Structure 1
Amino acid sequence: MKLVTALFFALSIVAEAKAQDLYQPVRVDNTTLWVNSIVGKNGVSTVECWGIQPPFVVSSQARTVGNKILQLGQLSNASYSVFPDGHPTDAGLHNAPNAQWVVLLSGSGNINFPDSPSTPNLTVKAPELLIAVDTPGTSRIGHRSVWEAGTSVIQMPLAPGFVPGHKTINGACPPVAPNH
């Protein structure tokens, strides 16, 4: 039941949250969700800031009227992971197993890009949403993730061949203070 509650919570955050309530959006405009994306380009993993398209729309559906809603695209599955307590978990060098959304429910992680020394480390913290698309064939060695003890995440693989439409800014999304 705890897993179902956590999954419902994560999907509620993603599907019904207002753009300004997410952890690290870029305030380029108030209709676009900006997320860090781990990508493979020219055989190397790096990070970009993606503005997901189409943008948020205002819901007219019962129980969500007036909320900003953004479709995450075609998903094929979802899994819930909890990294062990006691010490950080080094996931080592790896590619994303599938193009996927990652929702941090608790904790934090540090992602680095050893094959791309000019790309700075990316620190991610709950409740953040990111996308990883540096799948095998797009990046030789992938990225390295080190997760804080007790961190919990939901991974939602995209349907085969699907990547959400997006605008791109090179480098990680800059952190900004909420402007409610």
Structure 2
Amino acid sequence: MSVSEKLLESVTPLMVYKCSFDKTGINYNVFLSTDDISTAAKEMLRKEYYLEDIDALDVSEGFLITYHYARFDSSERVAHRVMLTHDEPVIPTISDVYQGANWHERECADFHGINFSGHPNLIPLLLDPDTPQGVLLKDVKSRMPLRDLINPGESIFTTEGFTLFDEVQAEPEEPK
């Protein structure tokens, strides 16, 4: 059984990276499609992982939503990561799987304007209700490429066509 099958039997990840726990505090980075996040969360719960947190990062490619999972009986930590577009930052809620996701999703909605579809109570958690959503959004020029911010680890599985961490081809210099 491959590592990607061991981690998630119910969905096919877009990419799985093995990480150095000593450097990152994570054993695996698993990139998923938005359609698979709820099914993956159910599987993590069934495998007795607990949800540590959910966070959002505004990068040039879109929003990186990260779900950190861990276990009480080992030091294993897994990060599920999903890329959303800036134009349509919508992802299904997992608050029906992990009750603790409720507040984390509301916080991501407050600060980044992420819409967690199906969330039972997506009202502001920390900000005044009159504050516009997305107060932590970066302007376009300030957004950095994801590959400049995180080292995903050693690739052990990639779905054909998933190119988020492929090497960027240098553009030819214009003649002077």
What TM-score does the superposition give when structure 2 sets the normalisation length?
0.25
What TM-score does the superposition give when structure 1 sets the normalisation length?
0.24
Tell me which protein shows more strand as a share of its residues. 1
Tell me which protein shows more helix as a share of its residues. 2
